[in-house]
Structure 1
């Protein structure tokens, strides 16, 4: 095929230095260079973002390659195709002409094709009397031949980055899972550490993750999580090493007592002996000395089903949903914003929301929900209030109606609607708590 190279674009389109460089590369191709057209197209598709090509530009390039009859592009016979706009639109899945022209320009700017424009801008092939093609005006695919190795290397780099990013994300997931479960283990086993501070540190690190993080961000977060993982692991390892056989035996005995077949295990508020058996820290009325025990969301919802009715979808699937629904409950109970802010400042947002959900559950017994919340806030400030016994009392009233119908005496209506002063744990409740504490999550 004899070709007279048309180097400049038709009409008002100007030539750029990049186009001029691609023209020189196409003109200097060695004679025996051949590439598979679909192999090079696959490389372009993988590295499209690095190249700067769009999805529609790739659809047009795919259509242009389909017009070339051979499976291989060769530098010996310059690969030029000359489809009409109508034919090109048909093979590009009916792309509008204006969109077609715009994305053809993208292919030229990316250096994937070169325009070989005729004097009047039309695309055609001139043949000799014998039928051989003498002159062609259209789209030159030679840059794909010239850049085949470059495009292949770019595609490999992109795939390598994707694999590395996948490994980083897997590492992030494993670190998050390990840290969350180790913190939960430390809280459940009451290992000596400030677990609420550790959990807050973890949430601060995770909070820096955007919705679609880059590999750099993921790697930076993983580095911080690895340091936290080491810290939490050392805390638990130290705790395990300090446990003696007598302590383990006593721990096992407590598990056996928790699984006792007795119908009810009663904890009387006025019995100092019982309170000492539970925890010596209770004897001085200071709940701040107790290790923090986080209530599982399922148990809170089981104790406070009234909160679920406020959720638009009728389901609370996460603590985020729970906090949002508690805000709705606060408004319904006419709890002032200042009372809510004080509760959040003293208890934290989750514990304050649990308190409001418990108040909502007993709202028919409480004259002033806002005043009661302020009372509990002051008790919490003094270390004399915890949501754990409140939720346990609600569960006791739900699962054992014979022991409590949820309507205490009038004297305790405004001071202790959740039954904090008289807590009874039924066998069914103990089974639920034992499962939630010891089953793997």
Structure 2
């Protein structure tokens, strides 16, 4: 039986070019190809959103498959089923006639079945003298056989996206819990810092979570929430390092004052250089290294910097640092000010700060003075890049929403 022949529907029903192409595709079914009809059906159910069909339409497809006598779809055994609407309605759990016809049309439009109508539109089979089916008119299941691999791939894709969504949602829930409890602990125990501002950032992020989020919504907010968590942890680490350093300095001073040595040389370093080094080690607070954020986050917060990269693109940290040198010269920042920023922040973070300054250039009177001020704060452990990046990300997101 030539299932690949193009046929048109009976009566006033029209046919689309997509349906014609689908019928032509069934002519390409390889000889001897088979597929488990229930496996194909499960794949179609899994990929129903991609196919654009509803659950009731799949129930009708399930009913149609029950009229196919074998579990394996095979062109050699015929792929046309010809139940009446009454029979279909019974096997589709009593679905109404008008609803049945609507969902049959939806299955045809989705390319899961084809109509093979007789001259008068009736569904029946013509048999030869031996009782074997010679030709049949009704609904062809050939598209399910022809698209078996496509449907399996679509089902795997949907399952992977569902898993990705579940993992992102779980990660966001955990990160949100961490941020909430870290802020509460810092406030309750009186840790120094502008925790009201950080809490406002947290509340703003939570408010942006949609009631029915998509995967892109979750991943975007998760990135910002993780940045906020890292920022809080960095601040708490800076405080702990400061307390430990101060405590060690006090202990060292007490030890020197209480020691009773017979020789004055035991209390004095051998040279002024050594004495200065020891005093600096006891009293000065070592700067805490500032965390480098992912390049993608920097570019999301500071898209303008891309225009100054090599060839008008930034694909690596080296490209970003090259662009920062160009921007430094353009904004009138002296080489010494930029070198001080590199020493205090690190080359990557200094480049990221220049990208942030470029984004806010219209609001900054002196880019060089602003950069020097940030460098001094970083040396004292009072500057972190995270809030600056998150503020620019929120600003760019708000601008994009207003533009749309």
Do the two structures share a fold, i.e. TM-score over 0.5?
A: yes
Distance 1:193 1:211 in 2: 32
Distance 1:247 1:12 in 2: 90
| Structure 1 residue 36, shift from structure 2 partner | 0.2
| Structure 1 residue 245, shift from structure 2 partner | 9.8
2:199 paired residue number: 199
Pairing 1:241–2:241 present: yes
For the structure 1 residues 32 and 3, does the alpha-carbon distance in structure 2 shift closer, same or farther, using more than 3 Å as the test? closer
| Structure 1 residue 243, shift from structure 2 partner | 2.5
Distance 2:247 2:32 in 1: 82
Q: Secondary structure at the match of 2:50?
A: helix
| Structure 1 residue 62, shift from structure 2 partner | 0.4
2:392 paired residue number: none
Q: Secondary structure at the match of 1:65?
A: helix
1:19 paired residue number: 19
Structure 1: tracts of 5 or more residues without a match: 249-441
| Structure 1 residue 226, shift from structure 2 partner | 1.3
1:149 paired residue number: 149
| Structure 1 residue 223, shift from structure 2 partner | 1.0
Distance 1:150 1:4 in 2: 18
2:132 paired residue number: 132
Residues 91-129 of structure 1: CA deviation (Å, up to 9, x unaligned): 000000000000000000000000000111110011123
Would you say the 8 A contact 1:34–1:72 is kept in 2?
Answer: yes
Would you say the 8 A contact 2:47–2:151 is kept in 1?
Answer: yes
| Structure 1 residue 79, shift from structure 2 partner | 1.0
Residues 247-302 of structure 1: CA deviation (Å, up to 9, x unaligned): 89xxxxxxxxxxxxxxxxxxxxxxxxxxxxxxxxxxxxxxxxxxxxxxxxxxxxxx
Pairing 1:84–2:84 present: yes
2:10 paired residue number: 10
Would you say the 8 A contact 2:114–2:139 is kept in 1?
Answer: yes
1:189 paired residue number: 189
Aligned positions of 1:29-40 closer than 5 A: 29-40=29-40
Aligned positions of 1:343-422 closer than 5 A: none
Which moved further from structure 2: 2-11 or 181-190?
A: 2-11
| Structure 1 residue 235, shift from structure 2 partner | 1.2
Distance 1:8 1:78 in 2: 19
Distance 1:160 1:107 in 2: 25
Structure 2: tracts of 5 or more residues without a match: 249-404
Distance 2:233 2:245 in 1: 22
Q: Secondary structure at the match of 1:135?
A: strand
Would you say the 8 A contact 1:2–1:134 is kept in 2?
Answer: no
Structure having the larger proportion of residues in helix: 2
Distance 1:134 1:202 in 2: 71
Pairing 1:165–2:168 present: no
Pairing 1:68–2:42 present: no
For the structure 1 residues 236 and 72, does the alpha-carbon distance in structure 2 shift closer, same or farther, using more than 3 Å as the test? same
Residues 62-95 of structure 1: CA deviation (Å, up to 9, x unaligned): 0000110100001223311000100000000000
Distance 2:151 2:116 in 1: 23
Distance 1:12 1:6 in 2: 17
Distance 2:187 2:6 in 1: 76
Which moved further from structure 2: 173-182 or 5-14?
A: 5-14
1:213 paired residue number: 213
Distance 1:87 1:245 in 2: 84
Distance 2:129 2:98 in 1: 37
| Structure 1 residue 242, shift from structure 2 partner | 2.4
1:43 paired residue number: 43
Distance 1:26 1:4 in 2: 5
| Structure 1 residue 189, shift from structure 2 partner | 1.2
Residues 289-328 of structure 1: CA deviation (Å, up to 9, x unaligned): xxxxxxxxxxxxxxxxxxxxxxxxxxxxxxxxxxxxxxxx
For the structure 1 residues 188 and 66, does the alpha-carbon distance in structure 2 shift closer, same or farther, using more than 3 Å as the test? same
Aligned length: 248
Distance 1:241 1:122 in 2: 85
Pairing 1:53–2:53 present: yes
Q: Secondary structure at the match of 2:76?
A: coil
For the structure 1 residues 9 and 187, does the alpha-carbon distance in structure 2 shift closer, same or farther, using more than 3 Å as the test? same
| Structure 1 residue 4, shift from structure 2 partner | 10
Q: Secondary structure at the match of 2:77?
A: coil
Would you say the 8 A contact 1:34–1:145 is kept in 2?
Answer: yes
Pairing 1:226–2:230 present: no
- What is the CA RMSD across the aligned residues, in angstroms? 1.9
